[in-house]
Chains A and B, each alone.
Chain A
Amino acid sequence: MSLGASVALGFLLAQPPVQVGSKVFTESVVLGEVATRTLAASGIPAVHRRELGGTRILWDALQRGELDAYPEYTGTLAEEIFAGRVPATLEALRPALATRGVRIAVVLGFVDSYALGMKAATAETLGIRRISDLQAHPQLRFAFSNEFLDRADGWRALQRAYGLPQTDVRGMDHDLAYRGLAAGAFEVTDLYSTDAEVQRLGLRVLEDDRRHFPDYQALLLLREAAASPGVLAALSQLDGRVSARDMVAMNARAKVDHVPEARIAADFLKATGLDTGSPVLPGRARRLLGYLRDHLVLVGVSLAGSILVGLPLGILAARRPRLGQAVLAGVGVLQTLPSLALLVLMIPLLGIGARPAIAALFLYGLLPVVRNTHAGLTGIPGELQEAAEALGVSRLERLWRIELPLASPSILAGIQTSAVICVGTATLGALVGAGGFGQPILTGIRLDNVGLLLEGAVPAALLALAVQGLFEGLGRLVIPRGLRLVRMP
């Protein structure tokens, strides 16, 4: 059954689709895609919410029931979720996970751990297969990612565990290290055992014969509440089916050949005979339209909120100077929070998806509206304020007929600022699964794919310009003609 048909059927049966998540790195996205397509092939509606963030975000979303399944690793569970209190073995993790309402639905069959690697040819010449073989070659030059050099269980621990004699050891960026290795600047580096470069550069992953590195077996976690027999049966087909070689090849296709993850997953499932369908990949226009729609929803809803709340707050601030200072200070503080931090702070309250993004954008867009409403109202010349008061009409009438129109250029400028900020900041929404133009930017950064990155960045910039233009036009409609004849003092 095709994905579209099964989704439609799912709606008919009113069965909510299984929510599959993935972290913001390629292997996780590919595995999320594999799991989603496997479910769909068994007639179980499933959606993939890709590139949601790090371990914490995914785990919390699983705990809240926003996600039903996502790919994870034994070592990560042991260290990051259970903080070392549970060993990184399947036997220990299963009961520990059960107490949290989570089960290991699939053990995929490969291990993605920290490892040391060198060019296969060099290793062959020197006869090196295992890490302990390095002891015999003190002249070898090492370059490690800075993270590996710094970590407690990184280089120093490894050196102690194996008694390695090498002294030419330096730190550098992970990607640069691969280039240096290729260029022969050094012979050994740290890597993840399923990195695409293992295949691309023809590397040999050295066996961790003293089992120094924690075990990072790849798994699919499933929320107990979502573990229906159908879902379990469908996913169990993947048990032990993804080898390290498969994973390296899939990572390489994504990172090196820029093949979309959906196609990689489909090809893999076809090769293993689990699913013979082909992915329906939307063309660029369809993709852009989808991003645009998501983006407009984020901006539209949050901006509407900023206006609906900001305008009254601004009016209140103008009416009550003492309270006004507090209000302005309050929304000012919101603005000083880095937008990324604000976004992440929303997750525990509102989960993942559009809601936390909209809430963060709403708070972020509040200041320009409040400040400009306040400035517009308090900036009305004294004589006009007096003339308005002398009319003898109600305060509401005065506000509506005189004060707000007089303040309208300033208020509109505030809303415009808010909207333009919002369009730009909304690209961060993709980090919490809100979609929009941030999605291709995020993927582009992850895959080092400039084309994809521009697919998000250029439309986002154009949208900001369009919004700017829209407000210039709106000014002609909203700002009273008489005001456009004079420049207000």
Chain B
Amino acid sequence: MRPLLLLDNVSRAFQGVPAVRPLTLAIPEGRTTVLVGPSGSGKSTLLRMMVGLVRPDTGQVLFEGRPLTAESAPAERRRMGLVLQGGGLFPHLSVEDNAALVARYLGWDGPRVAARLQVLLDRVQLPATVLRRYPAELSGGQRQRVSLLRALMLEPALLLLDEPLGALDPITRSELQEDLRATFQALGTTVVLVTHDLGEAAYLGDTLVLLREGRVVQSGTAEDLVRRPAEDFVERFVRAQRALPR
């Protein structure tokens, strides 16, 4: 399978401290890749690199075979949907304006925007009444759904989510996990997801990539990681997870 996105021998240090050590990683098209690992292992840095928000010190990022550069990144980003940990919603814009900002910038007319919003509201299970509301008037779960809706607005080829469910209560979280899985399957989009939670990773991901101190320790299915740990650290990481949903 041809990778939609390829991190080719990339590395990155901040003030001389390496966050990502030279690594090569392919994101296969149409699948969900999950980056897992302890705090500070470089998950977010890697994700930002894929969108061009962080430049690699060495190597390059290839999106659909084209190198992602400072010049090409803004246009390429419109084919990527990004969900940040806190949602990254703009507090001064209503839900509708948050979602439709780029579409309108690209010249979509009113009916086209409205039609797309309607489809996505159904997709992320939100009532149309939220469109007029402001982020401050939403619950945490609703905010994450809106954030997902905004990321899906332009039918992205690649969807990237950085700990989208980090700060939610267990019930909302498991509801959203189900809805995310349904969405990924329905759309067949390529997804990169960052999470701490191995259970979530197993539930949502096709391939898990376990990171430690900026290195890929093991990548494979959840089963591979549990049954055939590549090293001690993998076993420890798996055992550290309390409750796995069955």
Contact of B90 among A389, A393, A394, A406 (CB under 8 A): A406
Residues in A with CB closer than 8 Å to B137 are: 485
Contact of A402 among B76, B84, B90, B135 (CB under 8 A): B90
Contact of B91 among A392, A393, A397, A486 (CB under 8 A): A486
Q: Mark B63-76, 1 if CB is under 8 A from A, else 0.
A: 00000000001111
Question: A390 interface residue, CB < 8 Å from B?
Answer: yes
Residues in A with CB closer than 8 Å to B86 are: 383
Q: Is the CB of A392 within 8 A of B88?
A: no
Q: Is the CB of A488 within 8 A of B91?
A: yes
Q: Is the CB of B136 within 8 A of A387?
A: no
Q: Is the CB of A482 within 8 A of B93?
A: yes
A272 to B86, CA, bound (A): 86
Interface residues of B in 44-89 (CB under 8 A from A): 48, 51, 53, 73-78, 80, 82, 84-86, 88-89
Q: Is the CB of A405 within 8 A of B74?
A: no
Interface residue tally for chain B (C-beta within 8 Å): 28
Q: Is the CB of B92 within 8 A of A483?
A: yes
Distance in angstroms from B62 CB to nearest chain A CB is 18
Question: A386 interface residue, CB < 8 Å from B?
Answer: yes
Q: Is the CB of A392 within 8 A of B74?
A: yes
Residues in B with CB closer than 8 Å to A405 are: 92-93
State whether A392 and B75 are in contact (beta carbons under 8 Å apart), knowing that A387-B82, A482-B135 are contacts in the complex: yes
Q: Is the CB of B85 within 8 A of A383?
A: yes
Question: B94 interface residue, CB < 8 Å from A?
Answer: yes
Interface residues of A in 385-410 (CB under 8 A from B): 386-394, 397, 401-402, 405-406, 408
Contact of B102 among A384, A393, A408 (CB under 8 A): A393
Residues in A with CB closer than 8 Å to B48 are: 386
Residues in A with CB closer than 8 Å to B88 are: 383-384, 386-387, 390
Q: Is the CB of A480 within 8 A of B74?
A: no
Contact of A485 among B78, B82, B105, B134 (CB under 8 A): B134
Distance in angstroms from B236 CB to nearest chain A CB is 31
Question: B230 interface residue, CB < 8 Å from A?
Answer: no
Q: Mark A111-142, 1 if CB is under 8 A from B, else 0.
A: 00000000000000000000000000000000
Distance in angstroms from B79 CB to nearest chain A CB is 8
Which 8 residue pairs across A and B have the least CB separation, nearest first? A387-B88, A392-B77, A482-B134, A480-B92, A485-B136, A392-B78, A486-B136, A390-B82
A482 to B146, CA, bound (A): 15
Q: Chain B residue with minimal CB distance to A402? A: B90
Beyond contacts A392-B74, A393-B102: 7 other A-B pairs, Cβ-Cβ < 8 A, are A387-B82, A387-B89, A389-B53, A391-B101, A392-B77, A482-B136, A483-B91
Q: Is the CB of A482 within 8 A of B75?
A: no
Question: A481 interface residue, CB < 8 Å from B?
Answer: yes
Distance in angstroms from B196 CB to nearest chain A CB is 18
Residues in A with CB closer than 8 Å to B91 are: 384, 406, 482-483, 485-486, 488
Q: Chain B residue with minimal CB distance to A479? A: B92
Residues in A with CB closer than 8 Å to B75 are: 392
Interface residues of A in 274-332 (CB under 8 A from B): none
Q: Is the CB of B77 within 8 A of A384?
A: no
A407 to B80, CA, bound (A): 27
Q: Which of A387, A392, A405 has the most CB of B within 10 A?
A: A392
A393 to B77, CA, bound (A): 9
Q: Is the CB of A384 within 8 A of B90?
A: yes
Distance in angstroms from A448 CB to nearest chain B CB is 54
A483 to B90, CA, bound (A): 9
Q: Is the CB of B102 within 8 A of A386?
A: no
Distance in angstroms from A388 CB to nearest chain B CB is 8
A482 to B136, CA, bound (A): 7
Q: Chain B residue with minimal CB distance to A395? A: B74
Distance in angstroms from A355 CB to nearest chain B CB is 39
Contact of B93 among A392, A393, A480 (CB under 8 A): A480
Q: Which of B51, B78, B88 has the most CB of A within 10 A?
A: B88
Distance in angstroms from B76 CB to nearest chain A CB is 7
Residues in A with CB closer than 8 Å to B102 are: 391-393
Distance in angstroms from A430 CB to nearest chain B CB is 42
What are 23 A-B pairs at a CB distance below 8 A?
A384-B91, A387-B84, A387-B89, A388-B90, A390-B53, A390-B80, A390-B82, A391-B102, A392-B74, A392-B75, A393-B74, A393-B101, A402-B92, A406-B91, A408-B92, A480-B92, A481-B134, A482-B90, A482-B93, A482-B134, A485-B91, A486-B136, A488-B91
Q: Chain B residue with minimal CB distance to A408? A: B92
Residues in B with CB closer than 8 Å to A406 are: 90-92
Q: Is the CB of B74 within 8 A of A387?
A: no
Interface residues of A in 461-489 (CB under 8 A from B): 480-483, 485-486, 488
Q: Is the CB of B51 within 8 A of A390?
A: yes
Residues in A with CB closer than 8 Å to B135 are: 482, 486
Residues in A with CB closer than 8 Å to B53 are: 386, 389-390
Q: Is the CB of B94 within 8 A of A397?
A: no
Q: Chain A residue with minimal CB distance to B102? A: A391
A259 to B88, CA, bound (A): 69
Interface residues of B in 124-167 (CB under 8 A from A): 134-137
Distance in angstroms from A361 CB to nearest chain B CB is 31
Residues in A with CB closer than 8 Å to B92 are: 402, 405-406, 408, 480-483
Distance in angstroms from A446 CB to nearest chain B CB is 52
Q: Chain B residue with minimal CB distance to A394? A: B74
Residues in A with CB closer than 8 Å to B90 are: 384, 387-388, 402, 406, 482
Distance in angstroms from A319 CB to nearest chain B CB is 15
Distance in angstroms from A481 CB to nearest chain B CB is 7
Q: Chain B residue with minimal CB distance to A481? A: B134
Q: Chain B residue with minimal CB distance to A397? A: B105
A231 to B11, CA, bound (A): 86
